[in-house]
Chain A
Amino acid sequence: MEILRVERLKTYYESVRGTVKAVDDVSFNLHKGETIGLVGESGCGKSTLGLSIMRLIKPPGRIVEGRIVYDGKIDLTKIDYEELRKIRWKEIAMVFQGAMNVLNPVHKIVDQMVEAIIFHENTTKSEAVERAAKMLQLVGVPIDRMKRYPFELSGGMRQRVVIAMALLCNPKIVIADEPTTALDVVTQRNILNLLVELKRKLGLSIIFITHDISILPSISDRIMVMYAGEIVEIGDLREVMNNPLHPYTRGLLNSILLPLEPPKPFSFLPGEPPDLINPPSGCKFHPRCPYAFGKCSLERPQLHEEKPGHAVACHLYR
């Protein structure tokens, strides 16, 4: 059952040098209870995509085109502020990138959580405190940390607090933007464990944004690969990991370095990440693609289903 559908979304930023096409015609859907992993490298537009869904894009950026349909009924790009308020945090919540720095350093944890609850729902302060406490327990933060300030908590602890805050109003969809990026590998594993647990317990649908493709198998059901503002491949996790179709996806997977592997030459993608103001013509990946041919610099490939449930945007297939 589909809970979110993004159709032909375009989010552009106006800058001195030109228009940055951060999200350039993106379409996908999210099913209830599913976790979709959105992976792409720095500057590919994945954070912008997340912010667009939450309608948090501020000038000089704006959603230029497209629809974001929630629950089959509401188009998030068209509703006004009052309706948006009812949806933001209560239906769709976000765990921000660098979330640990998003907590206000001069307020205690409990105060910030209570403030968030009261802003979105009409409860009394004591009720809000109780809910905050329950949520902290759910994410594994000991109750005594509630009365502390953010700087008194470790990075992993703060990330849990931020996750708890996102879940305060029992949303159906959570957009997690690089929640483990700045964490150590052990803490990262703990946070991923936590998210898997919460996903199961609360029946969440998650859009998990990351640049590290190797952590996605821990948590996602489907995976979406983004490059220069476009989705280049999307499909079931195991299918994409085992049979990557797009050359970029293959390049990414080859670049993963794991301990205990047999020795192999260092693999990498040649060239540089593309300029989003003046992207390459046709397929934006073609300057770096080992399989590029004539058509690739002329025509932008469309996302099409190559196998059931596995779509790719590449001229190699058609």
Chain B
Amino acid sequence: METLVEVNHLKKYFPFRKGLFSKGYVKAVDDVSFHIRKNEIFCLAGESGCGKTTTGRVVLRLIPPTSGTILFEGKDIMKLNKSELKAFRRNAQIIFQDPYESLNPRERVVDAVTKPLEVHGLIRNRRDKLEQASQLLESVGLTPCEQFLDKYPHQLSGGQRQRVAIARAISLKPKFIVADEPVSMLDLSIRGVILKLLMELKSKMGLTYLFITHDLGVAWHISDRIAIMYLGEIVESGSTNDVLSNPLHPYTQLLISSVPNPEKPIIAEGGVKSAVQLEVPSAANPPPGCKFHPRCPYAFGKCSLERPQLHEEKPGHAVACHLYR
């Protein structure tokens, strides 16, 4: 299967002022490599601060990388000329987490969903605009269209807004969509609608998704392959089935065991552990060696000295951990 997106040794560091004269770096993305195949749903999963959102932004060239390359259909996106860049923007779109913030409060739905078409000169006249807008609303299930075309975002519910955002994202008939936590801010009972819609659009339009989430339950049900991120690094990757059924990395194991399961309620472990050991360290000052070692129940000498590299432990299932080698 051909590769659509290839990310190689991506780094994104954000500088900050430490003292009067010294500079520190928040290593939001610290040497990340992965590839996304055409027509698959690739999931980037991890807790907040792990760098998944930043990675998504860089892959779409919304912020520039500090180093590393991103290839889209074989071409380096940072080296595109003007017309190639315009084509890239047509082919790669984004859906944001917050359905309210991602829509311009001053724009009506009809304008919001056709804005990308206008920017690329694909709207002929007012009637054409209305037609295209209606078609888009139909494809995301906002019917009858007349009811929604003239509304402003604040007049719609969260689920409806997210559908408008999706309509906008597919308006240019892109090949690739970065979905950044598209259902995290929606009520539990309507998440299914949006996820179902995303799957339908994928098969109808032949889309490829980079699906960013912190919810492993959603990741399990929607993605084909998954990469678990921790403090800017990928610690485990492979098919979703493999990684979540047989997690190799201790952090993946911790994540899975922390997912609240109504059938297996969490029993209190005796005594209150000090919160320090359980906290995620800051990305500005990560631990040396393997960044997970202070929280790892299996850590040994090497772990605090050398950063483990991602290597294929089983076919199609890679892990970055000194336990395996």
Binding site for B on A (CB under 8 A): 41-42, 138-142, 154, 156-157, 160, 184-190, 192-194, 196-197, 200, 211-219, 241, 251-253, 255-261, 263-269, 272-273
Contacts and interface: CB of A to CB of B under 8 A. Distances in A.
Contacts of A139: 272, 275
B193 interface: yes
B266 A192 contact: yes
A138 B273 CA distance: 10
B258 A156 contact: no
Contacts of A216: 262
Interface in B207-238: 214-221
A272 B262 contact: no
A100 to B, nearest CB: 13
A260 B263 CA distance: 13
Given A259-B217, A268-B196, A272-B157, A252 B255 contact: no
Interface string B243-277: 01100000000111011111101111101111110
B278 interface: yes
Given A184-B214, A218-B266, A140 B188 contact: no
Interface centre among B191, B278, B280 (most CB of A within 10 A): B278
Given A160-B275, A186-B255, A187-B278, A258 B217 contact: yes
A212 B217 CA distance: 13
Given A185-B258, A186-B255, A142 B275 contact: yes
13 contacts: A41-B189, A139-B275, A140-B273, A185-B259, A190-B275, A192-B266, A197-B271, A212-B260, A252-B189, A255-B191, A258-B217, A266-B191, A268-B192
Contacts of B189: 41, 251-252, 255, 268-269
Contacts of B216: 185, 259
Contacts of B267: 196
A193 B269 contact: yes
A213 B188 CA distance: 9
A197 B278 contact: no
Contacts of B196: 265-266, 268
A4 B276 CA distance: 36
Given A41-B188, A184-B214, A241 B275 contact: no
Interface in B8-63: 47-48
B71 interface: no
Contacts of B192: 255, 266-268
Given A142-B275, A212-B260, A214-B260, A256 B157 contact: no
B279 interface: yes
A160 B255 CA distance: 21
B159 A140 contact: no
Interface in B180-207: 187-193, 195-196, 199
A185 B160 contact: no
Say what secondary structure dominates the interface of chain B. helix
B158 interface: yes
Nearest to A185: B258
A156 B273 CA distance: 13
A273 B160 CA distance: 11
B114 to A, nearest CB: 24
Given A218-B266, A269-B190, 14 more contacts: A41-B188, A154-B279, A187-B279, A187-B280, A190-B278, A200-B268, A217-B262, A257-B218, A257-B221, A258-B259, A259-B220, A259-B244, A267-B192, A268-B196
A272 B159 contact: yes
Nearest to B189: A269
A257 B217 contact: yes
Contact of A258 (B220, B255, B265): B220
A62 B233 CA distance: 51
Contacts of B273: 140, 190
Interface centre among A185, A194, A252, A253 (most CB of B within 10 A): A185
Nearest to B272: A140
A186 B220 contact: no
Contact of B190 (A186, A212, A268): A268
Nearest to A41: B187
B195 A266 contact: yes
Contacts of A214: 260-262
Nearest to B265: A217
A154 B276 CA distance: 10
A261 B217 CA distance: 9
Contacts of A141: 275
Nearest to B183: A257
Q: Which 3 A-B pairs have the closest CB atoms?
A: A268-B192, A257-B217, A266-B192
A219 B216 CA distance: 21
Contact of B274 (A142, A185, A188): A142
A140 B280 CA distance: 15
A200 B267 CA distance: 12
A242 to B, nearest CB: 10
Contact of B188 (A185, A196, A212, A272): A212
Contact of A154 (B259, B268, B280): B280
A190 B274 CA distance: 10
Contacts of B48: 184
A16 to B, nearest CB: 14
Nearest to B195: A266
Interface centre among A215, A219, A256, A260 (most CB of B within 10 A): A260
A257 B220 contact: yes
A156 B280 CA distance: 9
A2 to B, nearest CB: 25
